[in-house]
Amino acid sequence: MTGVVRAGFVTRPRGLAGEVDLRLFLAGRAVGLPAGFESEVGGRALRVVRSSVRSVDTVAALFEGIDSLEAAEELRGGDFCARREAFMAVPGLRPMGLFLGMRMEWQDGGGVVEGFDPFSANPLLEVAWEGGSFEVPLLLVTGTGTIDWDGGCMRLRLPAGLASGAD
């Protein structure tokens, strides 16, 4: 599958039927994946049969062809990915990987998102600009900024000093 966005990974099998837990890196809360959602898990093209939200960042999913605990165990640790278009078609499902390459504009400058840290208490976007690079809290973007997914750009007002402390 080409042009995929990494959205998380398989944390563990869940039950005897082959269901797995997916830890997702999202700009918001987890939402269920619709039946038929086409994904790539651990390098394998898989289609969702059913899913359910387990927590703010975890979804349990059953995939076609994964029908046992043993088959699910083989997916443990595998990346969960899908095409950008597939994620955009599901309301509210916005993996942090969708921000990569997006332009970020603020009151006196702009840059490009080159990475993200989903594991901090407040996930961070890594932004590169002419003065170096710095991290922007995802909550600042989603809570106070505007995001143009189709145009690949977000606009926000940065707190004083955030960009000036760039490395």
Average pLDDT, the chain: 91
CATH number of 4-94: 2.40.30.60
d(CA 10, CA 43): 12
* 9-47 tens-digit pLDDT: 999 999 889 999 999 999 888 999 999 999 999 999 999
Percentage, residues of the chain above pLDDT 90: 77
HSE (CB half, 13 Å, CA atoms) of 39?
A: 30
Under the banding of pLDDT at 50, 70 and 90, the label for residue 159 is confident
pTM, two decimals, is 0.89
Pick from 120, 59, 122, 118: nearest CA to 92? 59
Kindly list the domain boundaries of the chain, sorted by start residue: 4-94, 100-155
Higher pLDDT, 161 or 165: 161
CA-based radius of gyration for the chain:
17
